[in-house]
Structure 1
Amino acid sequence: MAEEKEHKIIQDDEIDLVELAKTIWAGRRFIAKVAGVFALIGLIIAFTSPVEYEASSKLLPESQEGQMPNMGGLAGLAGLAGVDLSSMGGAGSGVLTPQLYPEIVNSLPFILEVMNDTVYFEQLDLHTTSFHYFKEVETPTLLGYVMKYTIGLPGTIKKAFSAEEIIKENTSPFYRLSKKDWGIIEKFKERISIEIDAETGILGVTVEMPDPYAAAQIAKKIELMVTEAVIKYKTDKSLENLEFIQGTYEEAKNKFEKIQYKLARATDRNMNVTSATGQIELKNIEQEYEITFDVYKGLSTQVEQAKIQLKEQTPVFTVLEPVRIPEDKSQPKRSIILLLFTFVGFGIGGILCLILKKT
């Protein structure tokens, strides 16, 4: 009895599938028409979507965290000069891993500096900032106009009856931008991609812009700013230390030269004098000279050590793939858009055909 029931269920399923296939085949013209409409919509979107160009570069940051490279004979020579390289293991070096680079790039000060930098839009023969371009120059596409006057119509009406906000120069420690400006900044962030290869540590910078030349310029700008920011972060403390030691060294040097001249004059003056007073004066000057010389010599060694430390802690970035001006557009992918809309059209056409069949 159970086997007959199971056989009946399977048979019903087979009948349903056959009926489904017959229904779809009977409505094939209707489905084709729906798919054609969707293909037309996809074609319109594909050819009215904004054209974008993608520029990129690849960098290999040198890993220096907690490492002291084998400096060979240099360590021995530094030891003879009194410079202890082993004591320079990581003092002054901050922990800034490549995984934090995207956070640097997405920070507001970084993005504003990039957006306020003047670039050349080759297709328009225009020198302007990215911020001004996206706010005043860029024209909406056909789809953008449709969205503006349908879904975005309430906002458009509101803006028409409200005064435009004027952004004044920021003199406070806080950032104050209009809602429109914040929107432009957030969309600009989406145009920038920073990727880190976990295995190789290679840093990839990718920028997408409506103009190929502008895309290459901004990618290069970001590449330089990232390397400068990392170098500054890594060397700030060492550079400050070097400047302080150099300042103290110059003071000690001037004092040593003065006492050296003072000792020379005292020696000449007391060359043929055998008085006890003259000998005591000369001895005091000699002792002051020795103390000053020890300080001067010690600071001289510290200056050289600080210079080596600064050079050692300066990150090195190797450019594996330089920025080039893109030849081909990255967006829109018209063939993919057309195929996707056509496929969706066939699916929706089939569903409508089944619904109309049941009704």
Structure 2
Amino acid sequence: MSEIQKHGDRQVENDEIDLLALGKTIWSKRRLITYIVLIFIGVGLFVAIFSSNEFTASTTFIPQSSDSNRGGGALGGLASLAGVNIGNTVMSAEIPPSLYPKITSSVPFKKALLEAKVTPEELGEEVTFKSYILEHNSPGILSLVKKYTIGLPGVLMSGIKGEKAETITVATNDGLIRITREEYDIFRIIDASLSVTPNDKEGFVALSFTMSEPLMAAQMANQTKKLLQSEVIAYKLGNAKEQLKFTEERFAEKKEEFEKIQNRLASFRDRNQNIASAAAMNQQDRMEAEYNFVFNVYTELAKQVEQAKLQVAKDTPVFSVIEPVSVPNERSAPKRPLIIIIFTVLGFIVALAYVFGSEFLKGVKEQWKEV
């Protein structure tokens, strides 16, 4: 037998000895391991029993809108009078569904969502979502335990520092938005409750809202959907409305100019009815040419105003609802069997880590004593 084979056999024997030693260690500490696992199972049962039920209301819709080839809009029509073709330009201001989560996570959107009107079943009257969270939403036992045990130092520090009156400043393009600490805390609740998932492949958007009461979850899902669609419509129509405003302003200016030259030409004709001089005829021809040009521009702008009004209506996005919001009948959380399984596995891992860690420290102490 070669030396390599002997070394390999010894290695296998050592591995078997190590495994046997580990098995003996686990067997000798079986009671301790059992106690630790049982403690974790008890904690898991407590968490599973006292965790408040959560209900998720959802909806699915498809955003639809038509892109328009405007041919340069009002400017294109005016340019065509001069024989200039500026081409067909697609004036699109679409918000892709992939950006919908960015909209719902923005501070202005969440501030608007705080003012959403809801009607809690236990109140029977309409209140804002902010008022409901601050005054009527009672946390579960587990939330209170977490707040006044694990979160007690933070609560004390907040009281000492006076963070309840603190405001948080968020910069935006239009200025500064100031949010209070209470609003910030509600924003965190919204972030944990609201989910917006666009499906770029299929073209639909799934929106869901989770709360402890099924009716409230359904109402908030519906309010969030309406607010999101309003934001998308406002953004989409912004370009069309700006173009309508610009065209109407140019139309008003050209209308005033047209009326002035129309009055001048009428006055000139009244004054020179019986005059047949060449100079008068030339001046009349120039005024008529100017009148015709202004009239053509004025007529074209009138058409463009009507087209811009139609474009505003055409650009308004339409949302086809595939799955409307409904009040959920079954809770979405907590998953109690899964919680118990997780705590059981976690307890077994902690117990093994404690046993092996104790044995390791014991061996290290013995080595130090020998030295």
**TM-score scaled by length of structure 1:** 0.75
SS in 1 for 2:61: strand
Deviations 1:90-145 (A, max 9, x none): 23x33533222222111111101101222122255453322223333333333333
Distance 1:100 1:160, change over 3 A: closer
Deviations 1:305-350 (A, max 9, x none): 3245434433332222221111111121111111111121222233
Offset, 1:301: 2.3
Offset, 1:211: 1.8
Whether the 8 Å CA contact 2:118–2:219 is kept in 1: the answer is yes
Whether the 8 Å CA contact 1:46–1:338 is kept in 2: the answer is yes
Match of 2:60 among 58, 61, 64: 58
Q: Distance in 1 between matches of 2:300 and 2:125?
A: 58
Output aligned runs, 1:206-245, within 5 Å.
Answer: 206-245=208-247
SS in 2 for 1:177: strand
Distance 1:44 1:27, change over 3 A: same
Q: Distance in 2 between matches of 1:176 and 1:294?
A: 52
Tell me which amino acid in the other structure corresponds to 2:224.
I
Offset, 1:164: 8.2
Question: Greater RCO between the two (CA within 8 Å, min separation 6)?
Answer: 1
Distance 1:214 1:140, change over 3 A: closer
The question of 1:191 aligning with 2:190 is answered: no
**Superposition CA RMSD, Å:** 4.1
Q: Which residue of 2 aligns with 1:298?
A: 300
Offset, 1:286: 7.3
The question of 1:351 aligning with 2:353 is answered: yes
Q: Distance in 1 between matches of 2:246 and 2:166?
A: 41
Q: Distance in 2 between matches of 1:207 and 1:235?
A: 28
Output aligned runs, 1:89-100, within 5 Å.
Answer: 89-91=89-91, 93-94=92-93, 96-100=95-99
* Structure 1 stretch displaced more, 190-199 or 310-319: 310-319
Q: Distance in 2 between matches of 1:63 and 1:292?
A: 36
Match of 1:317 among 316, 319, 324: 319
Q: Which residue of 1 aligns with 2:119?
A: 120
Distance 1:27 1:167, change over 3 A: closer
Q: Which residue of 2 aligns with 1:76?
A: none
Percent of aligned positions with the same letter in both sequences?
A: 33
Deviations 1:221-275 (A, max 9, x none): 22122222122212212112224434655776799899999999x99x9xxx978
Gap runs ≥5 in structure 2? 70-76, 363-371
Gap runs ≥5 in structure 1? 70-78
Offset, 1:61: 2.3
Whether the 8 Å CA contact 2:165–2:181 is kept in 1: the answer is no
Whether the 8 Å CA contact 1:116–1:129 is kept in 2: the answer is yes
SS in 2 for 1:324: coil
Q: Distance in 1 between matches of 2:243 and 2:234?
A: 14
Offset, 1:22: 3.8
Whether the 8 Å CA contact 1:55–1:212 is kept in 2: the answer is yes
* Structure 1 stretch displaced more, 302-311 or 11-20: 302-311
Tell me which amino acid in the other structure corresponds to 2:90.
G
Q: Distance in 2 between matches of 1:284 and 1:109?
A: 58
Offset, 1:33: 3.0
Whether the 8 Å CA contact 1:88–1:309 is kept in 2: the answer is no
* Structure 1 stretch displaced more, 28-37 or 96-105: 28-37
The question of 1:4 aligning with 2:6 is answered: yes
Q: Distance in 2 between matches of 1:18 and 1:339?
A: 28
SS in 1 for 2:351: helix
Q: Distance in 2 between matches of 1:308 and 1:4?
A: 92
Deviations 1:142-193 (A, max 9, x none): 333333333333343455667785699x9x9533333343223223222211
Offset, 1:287: 6.8
